Amino acid sequence: MDKIDIFLSRPTWIEEKFKEGLDNFYKILKSLQINPRTIGKSDYPIDSPLDEVISLMNKCCGLIVLGYPQIKIHKGFVKDVRIKNTVELPTEWNHIETSLAYVRKLPILLIHHERVRRGVFDRGAVSKFLYEIDFTKSDWPLDDNIHGALNNWRTKALQYYKETVSKKNKIIEYKDKIPYDFVTIGTFKTGGTATDIRSKIILKENIQPSIDIFLERIDISPPYCLKCSRNLSKVHASWMADGIHIGYDCKKCGVEYKGNKKELRYDVLSDIRKNYQSYYKEYKRKIDEIINNMS
């Protein structure tokens, strides 16, 4: 059986009294063929931590959140109510990572130490897979409730894994079936002339590429007249200037573009650079359309 990657949301630092129980939890995961990944533990950030979390989350088929006390408040207020018992709070990353997984519809299992409260650990906030247990007990991972929940959650994670893997395989299959390599993502218009902008289709891509990579994939149509739709004819400089290509025009409507092919491409790429998000959005929309039509 394949080993599946899952995101384990836990703080890097925990109190000594929790360590044995956590080690046992790792052993159980290993026996279930689950590979837990955590930023700062199994994976180390190069970009901003949040970017790294998102990138790692995209590779995972499920999320387990362990709520360990990180902040303890003995005296103070919650809103205007003076606290009576110590308030124990988990790491903020537990909340951030749970939200990201929730949006991706990953199966989520939340387990927290007694008295850890607020955010995703408030009953009803995220899912019914929320368990409270004494993390100081070394055998907490063997607790009947936890074990049952873990198995339940694992079934869902495996399901997620199968679906995404089969989707990836399908995309590879589709690649041979698409009759064209480019999609139109917009039209560059200036002075009554227009040029269609097309982008090369890249199906196996989970995250938005850098703008420079995206620009390399751009192809532009010959310029045409916005009024009569005819392709523009090339305008050359006079024989005294060696007849070099200096522009395009529509003889019928009188519209013109001042610049050669290279200058036109430069203008188009500058426009994409300025409005990258909206061009990329249109590209993504077209790609999703292709995939939906084929599945």
Closer of 55 and 221 to Zn ion (Cβ): 221
Q: What angle do CA 213, 51, 56 make, to 5 degrees?
A: 95
Nearer to Zn ion, 28 or 235 (CB): 235
Contact present, 201 and 178 (Cβ < 8 Å): yes
Minimum CB separation of residue 250 from Zn ion in Å reads 3
Beta carbon of residue 249, minimum distance to Zn ion (angstroms, whole number): 9
116 and 71 Cβ atoms separated by less than 8 Å: no
Query: Which one, 88 or 256, has the nearer CB to Zn ion?
Result: 256
- Residues at the contact surface with Zn ion, assessed by CB under 5 A: 225, 227-228, 250, 252-253
| 14 contacts 68 by C-beta, under 8 angstroms | yes
Nearer to Zn ion, 146 or 253 (CB): 253
Find the shortest distance in angstroms from Cβ 56 to Zn ion.
Answer: 53
Q: Please, what's the b/e burial string for 62-91 (b: 16 or more CB within 10 A of its CB; e: otherwise)? A: bbbbbbbbbeeeeeeeeeeeeeeeebbbbb
Cβ proximity to Zn ion: between 195 and 199 the closer is 195
Q: How far is the CB of 252 from Zn ion (least distance, A)?
A: 5
Q: Are 57 and 83 in contact (CB under 8 A)?
A: no
Question: Least separation, in Å, of the C-beta of 255 and Zn ion?
Answer: 6
Find the shortest distance in angstroms from Cβ 104 to Zn ion.
49
The distance of closest approach from Cβ of residue 257 to Zn ion in the complex, given in angstroms and rounded to an integer, is 12
Contact 62, 157 (CB under 8 A): yes
Identity (one letter) of the amino acid at 248?
Y
CB 192 to Zn ion: min, Å: 8
* Residue 102 · residue 125 · CB < 8 Å: no
Q: Most distant CA pair in the chain: distance in Å? A: 92
Output the six-digit token pair for 230. 């005819």
Give exposure, 182-202, as e/b (b: 16+ Cβ within 10 Å): ebebbebebebbbbbbbbebe
Closer residue to Zn ion in complex, CB, 101/232: 232
Nearest CB to Zn ion, comparing residues 86 and 231: 231
Q: Are 135 and 155 in contact (CB under 8 A)?
A: no
Q: Which is nearer to Zn ion, 9 or 193 (CB)?
A: 193
C-beta of residue 261 within 8 angstroms of C-beta of residue 245:
yes
